[in-house]
Amino acid sequence: MIWITAVCIVAIIAAVIVFRPKEAPAQIAYDKLPRLGDANAPVKVVELGDYKCPSCKYFSQTIEPQLKKDYIDKGQVALYFSNFVFIGPDSNTAALAAQSIYHQNNDAFWKFYDVVYKNQGDEKVQWATPQFLVDLAKKEKLPVDYDLLLKDITTKKYQNEIDEHNEFARKNQVNSTPTLFINGKKLDNSMDYNAIKAAIDKAGKGE
């Protein structure tokens, strides 16, 4: 009887695992985020990042170019960016600058994304000041209105959007950056390119 009961318990546990409903993908407003690649790409990858995060710098300089070459340029993946600011007050300042540039020119956003990480300072130092960020945009000759950029930063014009991004991160138990969502599913290891590729390939098959 004990053996039969044990077998039944194991069978019940197995059934629960097999028939447990799959976790629904996170709801993401892709049309409200900066996009790199074709909006109609079958796989949508969202990076949650902080401009002061050293790991995000690695992602932008090492993994993002690989994604672009292997998937984005082929129309298979569209990459999106969402803020998750937590390192310091100037994380939010950098996010305000990026949101302003995005609303002025989506393509300029991705140039700014690259140059901010290339010029990233120490995460323990408040380096991302409004003037530094505007000067950076000017130095790179980004096609945006620099006076408007400075105004948007100082008046915190897009703070509500950053707050929404942060709320999405908290709601979906994001506790580090960068964190990727692939077709709405959170990836556990967003710094392993092989794991990213495997998840993208799986998503591309509709799995």
pLDDT at 14: 44
Question: pLDDT tens digits, residue range 37-51?
Answer: 999 999 999 999 999
> Does residue 6 have a pLDDT over 70?
no
Q: Where are the domains of the chain?
A: 29-204
Report, as an integer, the average pLDDT of 103-114. 98
Question: pLDDT tens digits, residue range 54-95?
Answer: 999 999 999 999 999 999 999 999 999 999 999 999 999 999
- Decide if 48 contacts 162 (C-beta within 8 A): no
Q: How far is the CA of 175 from the CAs of 9, 38, 103, 149, in angstroms?
A: 35, 29, 27, 30
- Write down the CATH superfamily of domain 29-204: Glutaredoxin (3.40.30.10)
3-state secondary structure 91-112: HHHHHHHHHHHHHHCHHHHHHH
Question: pLDDT tens digits, residue range 169-196?
Answer: 999 999 999 999 999 999 989 999 999 9
> Does residue 18 have a pLDDT over 80?
no
- Decide if 100 contacts 148 (C-beta within 8 A): yes
> Does residue 164 have a pLDDT over 50?
yes
Token pair listed for 184: 């709405």
